[in-house]
């Protein structure tokens, strides 16, 4: 797993597509050959990257996704108890999320916003949300072979 973190609108997905995908092995990023006429990110042979977005994906789609964006929004939806995330996921699903992500697809690229900076929210749900996202990201970073922090489109490898 590769974890990419950074502030909102900092170019995390563009960084992944430009710098991380070309360096991955062909077995991880598969697609038609250059002769097929399709091109992927940065002119790579193969189809364009299809991102799974945490803001709208259901549990199964997000767990199976190779390129997952907005992990923080997926966690928020679970905490709010949205039925789109599947029945009975609730607190148990959140606690085991990092394990489930790793078991479901250990070769995934996971992108999430850093939401723990700034003023601590007055609302108790917002405080719990920040704490939960932080803990899950710490667990995911422990599983990840690489962790990147992106600021203004510039990535820094921190693991």
Domains located in the chain, CATH noted: 50-159 (3.40.50.300)
- For residue 39, the model assigns a pLDDT of 42
Per-residue model confidence (pLDDT) at position 33: 31
- The rounded distance, in Å, linking the Cα atoms of 68 and 57 is 10
With H, G, I as helix, E, B as strand and everything else as coil, classify residue 6. strand
pLDDT, residue 135, reads 94
In the prediction, which pLDDT does 21 show? 85
Give the pLDDT score at 46: 55
* Backbone φ, ψ for residue 45 (5° rounding): -65, 150
For the chain, which ranges sit under pLDDT 50?
A: 25-39, 42, 88
């Amino acid at each position: 797993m590769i974890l990419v973190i950074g502030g909102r609108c900092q170019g995390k997905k563009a960084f992944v597509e430009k710098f991380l995908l070309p360096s991955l092995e062909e077995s991880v990023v598969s697609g038609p050959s250059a002769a097929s006429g399709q091109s992927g990110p940065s002119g790579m042979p193969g189809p364009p990257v299809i991102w799974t977005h945490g803001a709208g994906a259901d549990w199964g789609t997000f767990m199976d996704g190779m390129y997952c964006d907005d992990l923080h929004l997926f966690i928020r939806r679970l905490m709010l108890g949205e039925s789109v995330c599947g029945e009975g996921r609730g607190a148990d699903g959140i606690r085991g999320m990092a394990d489930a992500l790793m078991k479901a697809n250990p070769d995934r690229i996971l992108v999430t916003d850093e939401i723990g900076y700034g003023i601590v929210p007055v609302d108790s749900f917002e405080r719990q949300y920040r704490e939960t996202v932080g803990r899950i990201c710490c667990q995911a970073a422990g599983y990840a072979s690489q962790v990147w922090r992106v600021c203004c489109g510039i990535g820094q490898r921190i693991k």
